[in-house]
Structure 1
Amino acid sequence: MQKRTLVAGLAGALLGLLPQAHADSARPAALAADIRWTAYGVPHIRATDEGGLGFGVGYAYARDNACLLADEIVTARGERSRYFGAEGESSAQVGNLASDVFFTWLNRPESVEAFRKAQSAEVTQLLEGYAAGFNRFLREASTDTTSCLGQPWLKPIDSSDLVRLTRRLLVEGGVGQFAQAVVAAAPPGAASAALTGAEGFRLAEQRRERFRLERGSNAIAVGAERSASGHALLLANPHFPWQGAMRFYQLHLSIPGKLDVMGAALPGLPMVNIGFNRHLAWTHTVDTSSHFTLYRLELDPQNPLHYRLDGRWQPLEKRVVKVRVRGADGQLQTVEHNVYESVYGPVLVWPGKLDWSAGEAYALRDANLDNTRVLQQWYSINQARDVADLRHRVESLQGIPWVNTLAADEHGDVLYLNQSVVPNLTPGQLQACAIPALVAEGLPALQGNLGRCGWSRDPGAAQPGIQPATQLPALVRRDFVQNSNDSAWMTNPAAPLEGFSPLASRQDQPLGLRARFALQALQGKGAIDEPLLQRLVTGNHVYAADLVLPDLLQLCRQAQEAALSSACGSLAKWDRSANLDAGPGFVYFQRFMSHFDALEGAWKVPFDPVRPLQTPSGIALDKPQVAKQVREALLAATKEVHELGLDQRQRWGEVQVSSTAKPPIPIPGGDGHLGIYNAMQSVPHGDHLEVVSGSSYIQLVSFTAEGPQAKGLLAFSQASEPRSPHHADQTRLFSRQAWSPLPFTEAQIDADPTLRVVRLAQ
């Protein structure tokens, strides 16, 4: 207890030692911060200015994840082949050489410098401080703290490296999904896919689908009218990758008198992306809006490097990208590759879908390539005082790249914003210019030979060619708003959001099952409290089973065949959950649904836009063809479960694990497509399924007369470093479905028995 008191006293004393503007006893340090670590290694970073704050963030992050960040910076610099050779791949499963070509093109010096110069003084100081803090830790690092110490790619960084990382994140909703296609683009007769290959395109197709799955999220904001306490609540449950450039990190940032915000940030970002302050809490969900458009280029039959625009032939720009590649003998050589650009953006090749032929090619325009406001946007959100203020800050800057925003404040108001960077095309343009075949495949494709099909400029927009905030969905309520990666339409069924551009939000479309599950709990007039919101996640209920399982078991009873006995017996005993103790029925059900979803006309009650919360549902077993296909789907699922060896496991907790710790940690939850709110993505790995993405940073914030009260966790823990005590501590907590208090006030921080304080200055 005496030691505990001394540490608490030291925290207060050290704050007084931070440099003051008029101190005359000594020259103040250029950068200074104090870092107070509480339970699970969460840093509370306090400084008197943005430079010091960034300094503390960079240092704290490097202590836990220096190798992760350095590896991702190598990717963003386009230097993977230089250090690891051309044959490996990045954390995004892109081959090193293709990745290097893409990021060398994306992060050209002039593009990085233009982004850097567009930042406010505050953001510039945050970035420069972050780099200095990271570098400070490198000077202190040991092999006990930093597993990659001594590797040539672990080296000091600068603010431009953080800009490169930011630009990488920006294009995740656009051209970043087409990295292989940009690299593969070459005129007819050239080796168009030399750096990508058929397997690369197959993985890229899977990755585009996983963008929707891995970067999903749930969010609920409950207003004063429905909250049991009369105060607002916010549940944040983003689903993000457990490794790599999108792995969240918990932190608390404070500049006395200016900033006091807690939450989680992505690697390399010196501000909170999802979190809360004294006045409001906010979160994000990946939206359904389009952030890019494709353009079909009409090519000159005599020269495939020229395209027609408004009756004139325009030359494609050939940009030569140079990449340094380490060979098997350790020697470096320079590889040159051409990237072709039109007035819209880079040319793509996706074999069989977006081909470069003698007559046509395709180019992509990404709205976020011109979004230099994203960092200023999040730092502004960090300082918002209520939902009205937050809305004004978002609608004024328009810097959100590809997510919805939901928020709740101390006054009991809740907010939904579908305010991201969306191309501005009028209904007339969409009708006249769209390419129906590609639009039907979910690709917003337009005719590129007519200038009138280009993005329209609106003087009210923050960026030329994007939709102004006044044309995008927004909703303020006192009951609730929610989103689980659906369009804005059913944010609150009492106030449907309709009539927007299909590039921003579509209506009359089937809801995802996670949204239907949540709305089932939120509908009506009953009070909503914290335990109810927490149970939505920790209950691990499989909502799809409510819609399908009764009919599936009926088919089992009718079939009575030996080949289905194992699956049918397991399904009959299953409790419709993805909890750790769920029986093997869940494994069979997951595999069955992967086949069922591909069937045409299999629903007993098809989707009805008048009843979006209840439809579709049931299996149309009265149709002989459907019954036959469903039986075949269950047989296929049985075969797959047996081949994976998963039919020998008795509990879901023996199947799905995180093996980053020893022994492996069982992980609850499952495929969000099945309506499991605690959405987890896992892939076959040896004799189990390894978690790769899903629930990440979770926060449940309530506002009381005493201020915000928060609990939650970081499902994959703070540190990617295997020797860190915080490498898997929260993962074990997550396995038990326990959420920890998030200490925010000075009293809560000082009361933490694990409190440890470090003061940094240089």
Structure 2
Amino acid sequence: MIISRQLPHFCLATLFLSLSCGAHALAQPEEIRAEIRRTSFGVPHIRAADERGLGYGIGYAYAQDNLCLMANEVLTVNAQRSKYFGAEGQTLEERDNLSSDLFFSWLNTSEAVTAFWQAQTPAVRERMQGYVEGYNRQLAERQSQGLPEQCQGDWVRPLATSDLVKLTRRLLVEGGAGQFAEALAGATPPSSTVQAALTGKDWQLAANRSQRFALDRGSNAVAIGSERSFNGRGMLLANPHFPWVGGMRFYQMHLTIPGQLDVMGAALPGLPLINIGFNQHLAWTHTVDTSKHFTLYRLQLDPKDPTRYLLDGRSQPLERQVVTLQSKGPDGQLQSQSRTLYSSVFGPIVQWPGKLDWDHKYAYSLRDANLDNTRVLAQWYAMNQAGSVAGLQDSVHQLQGIPWVNTLAVDDQGRTVYMNQSVVPNVTQAKLALCSDPRVGTQVIVLDGSRSACAWDLDPAAAQPGIFAASQLPQLARNDYLQHSNDSAWMVNPAAPLQGFSPVISQQDVPLKMRARFALDRLSRMHKAQVSDLQHMVSDQQVYLAGQVMPDLLQFCEQDLGQDAQRLQSLCTSLKSWGRSAGLQAGLGFVHFQGIMQPLLQNPDVWRVAFDPKDPQHTPRGLAIGRAPVAQALREAMLASAQQVAAAGLGADVRWGDIQQVSQGGQPTPVPGGPENLGVYNAIQSVPGADGKREVVSGTSYLNVVSFDEQGPQAQGLLAFSLSSDPASAHFRDQTEAFARNQWRMLPFTEAQIRADGQYQSQLIHEPRKAPVPLALK
């Protein structure tokens, strides 16, 4: 039943009483129940008396908003895309279905899924079981009415708890093996005629997606402590940058078990808890870290057989896993395709032509630390319930379940903390010196796979064999401020540099991202920060790099440009009139600024003032237009940008909001923000579309600022791409429009705030409580 806010007060009071006034009112053994209250933008506030009921409400609400998205992701992690859509089709991430299926067949074996499930706590299992039941109830209701067009087909089915495990395991390897799906699926022994390698086009698509990975998954975070906040309590800005479609698309929700849990925030698909959020006393967020979560091992092959390798001088065979998949052919008939995947003691063989070649001398294995991380759900479960920064730290130090992100947190007492406490291979500086080739560098760690001595070190204090213990990883607690924008841990606060760590964990004396320099600049001028100050860091749409190079660009325009003067006149005019913003009203100058700077940033020699590790906040800066090679590169970039703008048909009066958009249900919505490498804090990643337009694919996602007062948390925020991925939903594009207008909304948290919301609705769902179903492997 749906209950609108116009119901008589006695009815609402009766419903509220039935749900929250007696643990035994909801905890009837014969029923599973949940209440879903929705406020503005459809945000669900889910309340139940126990874990299973809470999961039940989460699964039901999520299916109301994102049924087709979940069905698609479940198909993916179960390695069945080729069966229903053909091997040549593509996932939402533009990966060919066959490679995707081979990868997930390798990742989500029945043994791995069973081991993960058995490692979960009873509370987590109960919540996952409830999620499955709630989702399946909503699926049955929607099937009776007719499923949305985008998920009509026999590939849509009820969930099993194993599906949630597989989704979680996919999340775990996003920072490691997940980036090597094609390399794993396409690894082929030299001169093999048994199986065909991927085509050049496949590898190029994989390479393009790999380059986009860091852009699609970034984040900004600011934690303000008692010394700098307006009221002496903690303040937090959460600004993760994640994909706007697919399995990494955040979902807003508020979870309550009266007397046990009260937490609000955002979660990734299939996770029945909050990843980024706040509760009565604590707020936290994550940023993608620069730590390494996998290493490669270069195997020395047996000269007699490239499917055997030498370890400590002894030849041993690569393990073989034959994967057979069903693939839908052009005629609609199913065909069987078999591939053999190879592994050494260090992990699967991966092959990337020109980079990681498998020849008669060497092959490469990949070892991902998060494959053994069964603690991830228990970790976020504990974080959701932590009542202080100290409590949060304790849980992270004990469990070490965070996969590949940093954590920044504040509490209502004004304490702050930064933790680079993720799952990191225990490879010390000494081991790198012993086992890696210095010519390879540290962007990707490649160890010697011919010696068992080069295996990851073991620390009995670590929560998992082969990773660093919590005490060996960077963390910093302060009462002024902390910030992070996907750099290493080094400059979280320049007053206390974090240094001296293995390069596998964190590096120092390297240039900061422009977003971090922007944040440090803003924070240095915030003496008593207000909520609006943190909001403006995102909503001002400042292009920080423009402040570093525009004087030189404009000076170059004033020079004698010779035969190119007329061709560049319009470009120079637009640069001069541009307000150095990435807002919707930014003119053609911003388009040209991107066209000029993107190629120039590929050349480290363009800077007038080079990077100085003693002054990382202000270097590098300026363009060395007085040097002939730089001047020539700048002229070529300007001419190319002018040509591109003319070819796209963009007039002098065009605005950024006319160009950068997201197509939602055939109706475009303008999106402010821009490329992160230009120092746009509101980082938005868009790709070229038709008619000179750009389609948003990732960037600012869940956005909020949390402060505290005597009553508890006060939060404002938005979900930039909106709550629902269903074009028929009223909440398909409403928050996107608010985001375009910079209209942050208060996030209702207290009972009074929820009830007072103008869009308040409530739905009570229940069904007979069944015995927990054993883990079913689909």
Q: Quick check: 1:563 aligned with 2:564?
A: no
Q: Is the 8 A contact 2:724 2:732 kept in 1?
A: yes
Residue 278 of structure 2 aligns to which amino acid in structure 1?
F
Q: CA deviation at 1:524?
A: 5.1
Which residue is equivalent to 1:695? 700
Asked if 1:435 is matched to 2:437, the reply is yes
Q: The residue matched to 2:335 in structure 1 has which SS?
A: strand
Q: Distance in 2 between matches of 1:26 and 1:744?
A: 24
Q: 1:75 to 1:552 in 2, by over 3 A?
A: same
Aligned residues: 760
Distance 1:329 1:648 in 2: 51
| 2:225–2:415 contact (8 Å) kept in structure 1 | yes
Matches of 2:673 and 2:516 in 1, distance apart? 16
The 8 Å contact of residues 428 and 504 in structure 2, kept in 1 or not, is answered as: no
- Indicate the residue corresponding to 2:477 in structure 1: 476
2:776 counterpart residue number:
none
Per-residue CA distance 1:709-759 (angstroms, 9 max, x = gap): 001010000000000000000000001011000000000001012111111
Q: How does 1:388-403 map to 2 (within 5 A)?
A: 388-403=390-405
Scaled by the length of structure 1, the TM-score of the pair is 0.97
Q: Which amino acid aligns with 1:718?
A: L
Q: Distance in 1 between matches of 2:77 and 2:410?
A: 35
Equivalent residue runs for 1:331-350 within 5 Å: 331-350=333-352
- Larger deviation: 739-748 or 443-452? 443-452
Counterpart secondary structure, 1:141: helix
CA separation in 2, counterparts of 1:72 and 1:196? 23
Alignment partner, residue 94 of structure 1: 95
Q: Give the direction of change, closer, same or farther, for the CA distance of 1:485–1:11 in structure 2 (3 Å limit).
A: farther
**Equivalent residue, structure 2, for 1:610:** 614
Q: Secondary structure of 1:363's partner?
A: strand
> Any idea what SS the aligned residue of 1:609 has?
coil
Q: Do the aligned partners of residues 47 and 606 (structure 1) sit closer, same or farther apart at CA in structure 2, a change above 3 Å counting?
A: same
Aligned to 2:465: 464
Q: Could you say if the C-alpha distance between residues 9 and 186 of structure 1 is closer, same or farther in structure 2, counting changes exceeding 3 Å?
A: farther
C-alpha change, 1:694 and 1:19, in structure 2 (3 Å) is closer
How big is the shift at 1:92?
1.5
Match in the other structure for 1:672: 676
Higher mean C-alpha deviation, range 36-45 or range 205-214: 205-214
Q: For the structure 1 residues 141 and 610, does the alpha-carbon distance in structure 2 shift closer, same or farther, using more than 3 Å as the test? A: same
Which segment is superposed worse, 274-283 or 333-342? 333-342
Q: Residue 332 of structure 1: CA displacement?
A: 1.3
Question: 1:4 offset after TM fit, Å?
Answer: 3.0
Give RMSD over aligned pairs.
1.8
Secondary structure of 1:253's counterpart equals strand
- Per the TM alignment, residue 195 of structure 1 is displaced from its structure 2 partner at its CA by 5.7
2:501 maps to 500
2:264 matches 1:262: yes
> What per-residue deviation string (whole Å, max 9, x for no partner) do you get for residues 267-292 of structure 1?
00000000000011000000000000
Equivalent residue, structure 1, for 2:743? 738
| Distance in 1 between residues matched to 2:46 and 2:341, nearest whole Å | 43
The 3-state SS of whatever aligns with 1:270 is: coil
What's the % identity of the aligned pairs? Answer: 53
The DSSP-based 3-state class of the residue aligned with 1:533 is helix
Match among 375, 382, 385 for residue 383 of structure 1: 385
How many Å apart are 1:203 and its aligned residue?
Answer: 1.9
Post-superposition Cα deviations, 1:477-532, rounded to whole Å, max 9, x if no partner, equal 11011100011111011111111111111111100000000100111572211111
Structure 2 partner of 1:232: 234
2:324 partner SS: strand
Could you tell me which residue of structure 1 aligns to residue 202 of structure 2?
200
Amino acid corresponding to residue 450 of structure 2 in structure 1: N
Offset of residue 190 of structure 1 = 2.1
CA distance in 2, matches of 1:540, 1:7: 45
CA contact (8 A) 2:195 2:339 kept: no
Give yes or no for contact 2:71–2:151 (8 Å, CA) kept in 1: no
Q: Report the more deviating stretch, 443-452 or 146-155.
A: 146-155
Task: Give how far 1:23 is off.
Answer: 5.3
Q: Distance in 2 between matches of 1:567 and 1:264?
A: 42
Preserved CA contact (<8 Å) 1:56 1:130? yes
Measured in 2, the distance between the counterparts of 1:272 and 1:326 equals 38
**Does the aligned pair in 1 maintain the 2:18–2:25 contact within 8 Å?**
no
1: CA distance, partners of 2:453 / 2:707: 49
| Closer/same/farther in 2, CA of residues 368 and 647 from structure 1, 3 Å limit | farther
The aligned counterpart of 1:718 is 723
Equivalence map 1:484-633=2 (5 Å): 484-523=485-524, 526-560=527-561, 561-633=565-637
Between the aligned partners of 1:150 and 1:228, the Cα distance in structure 2 is 53
Secondary structure of 1:235's partner? strand
Give unmatched runs, 5+ long, in structure 2: 768-778
CA distance in 1, matches of 2:151, 2:212: 32
Q: How far does residue 549 in structure 1 lie from its aligned partner after superposition? A: 1.1
Determine the structure 1 residue equivalent to 2:773: none
What corresponds to 1:120 in structure 2?
A: 121
Structure 1 residues 120 and 559: CA distance shift in structure 2, 3 A: farther
* Structure 2 residue aligned with 1:706: 711
Alignment equivalent of 1:152, drawn from 151, 154, 178: 154
Q: Indicate the residue corresponding to 1:413 in structure 2.
A: 415
Q: Which amino acid aligns with 2:559?
A: Q
Output the CA distance in 2 between the equivalents of 1:646 and 1:61: 41
2:184 maps to 182
Residues of 2 paired with 1:66 and 1:682: CA distance? Answer: 26
Three-state SS of the structure 2 residue aligned to 1:6 is: coil
Contact 1:185–1:193 (Cα < 8 Å) also in 2: no
Within 5 Å, give how 1:39-78 maps onto structure 2. 39-78=40-79
Contact 2:187/2:197, CA 8 A, preserved across alignment? no
Q: Is the 8 A contact 1:184 1:192 kept in 2?
A: no
Deviation sequence 1:133-179 (CA, Å, 0-9, x none): 10000111156773345411111011100111111111110010010
* 3-state secondary structure, aligned to 2:57: helix
Distance 1:463 1:186, change over 3 A: same
**Residues 31/616 of structure 1: CA separation in 2 closer, same or farther (3 Å cut):** same
Contact 2:73 2:247 in 1 (8 A): yes
Distance 1:22 1:237 in 2: 36
1:330 to 325, 329, 332: 332
| In structure 1, distance between residues paired with 2:147 and 2:753 | 28
Shift of 1:66: 0.4
Describe the shift of the 1:29–1:566 C-alpha distance in structure 2 as closer, same or farther (beyond 3 A).
Answer: farther
Write the letter of the residue equivalent to 2:43: V
Q: Measure the CA separation in 1 of the matches of 2:16 and 2:570.
A: 64
Matched residue, 1:658: 662
Determine if contact 1:80/1:97 at 8 Å carries over to the other structure: yes
Counterpart of 1:748, as a letter, is Q
Supply the distance in 1 between the matched residues of 2:181 and 2:27 (Cα, whole angstroms).
52
Report if aligned partners of 1:128, 1:159 keep a CA contact under 8 Å in 2.
Answer: yes
- TM-score, normalised by the number of residues in structure 2: 0.95
Partner residue, 2:770: none
Post-superposition offset of 1:47? 0.8
Q: Separation in 1 of the partners of 2:669 and 2:230? A: 35
> Given the alignment, which residue of 398, 403, 406 partners 1:404?
406
- DSSP 3-state at the match of 1:17: helix
Q: Please list the CA deviations of residues 628-652 of structure 1 after superposition, one character each: whole Å capped at 9, or x if unmatched.
A: 1111122222223333334566100
CA contact (8 A) 1:10 1:757 kept: no
Measure how far apart 1:385 and its partner are.
Answer: 0.6
Distance 1:638 1:252, change over 3 A: same
What whole-Å deviation, never above 9, does each CA across 1:555-600 have from its counterpart, x for those lacking one? 1111441221221111111000000000000011111111111124
- Following the alignment from structure 1 to structure 2, what is the Cα–Cα distance between the partners of residues 322 and 673? 43
